[in-house]
Amino acid sequence: MCIVRGMTTEDIHAVALIEKECFGEPWSEAQLQESLGKDYARFLVAVDDGEVVGYVGAYILGEDVDITNVAVTSSSRGRGVAYSLMSSVMRVAREEGSTIVRLECRVSNTPARALYDKLGFESVGVRPRFYQDLEDAIMYEKHLQEV
């Protein structure tokens, strides 16, 4: 059973490994450290049997929340970890007075798109050639009163 808790500096190495496993353009440990130190950043990790198996990062900027990344190790996928992480970060954001969550997702990332649909996000547009490899991104929004 996974628990979701706030990310600490001790989690950065594990999160960087998850980044490398999951993304073609992973954040470095230095980038994670820098982001974690921002007063508007909220990073949560999912821990299973003492091991970090996923994380979510969000920037809470008043009423707006920007999800930076969501990632789960391949061995922990399909168990609701990403759903728990996203639900938890949205709960934190709502408690802090935010009303809308935004994120971008690769057009080709079918599992993530299914998760966002399940969570009630709406597709609100496309960012052409958004990623370094020029793949388009789908823009999603969710109003937090719906959580």
- Spot the catalytic one: 29, 104, 135, 141: 104
**Mind giving me the DSSP string for 116-144?**
HHHTT-EEEEEETT-STT---EEEEEEEG
Active site residue 146: no
Burial of 147 (0-12, 13-18, 19+ CB in 10 A): middle
Q: How many CB atoms lie within 10 A of CB 95?
A: 9
Active site residue 104: yes
- Spot the catalytic one: 19, 55, 116, 140: 116
Enumerate the active-site residues.
104, 116
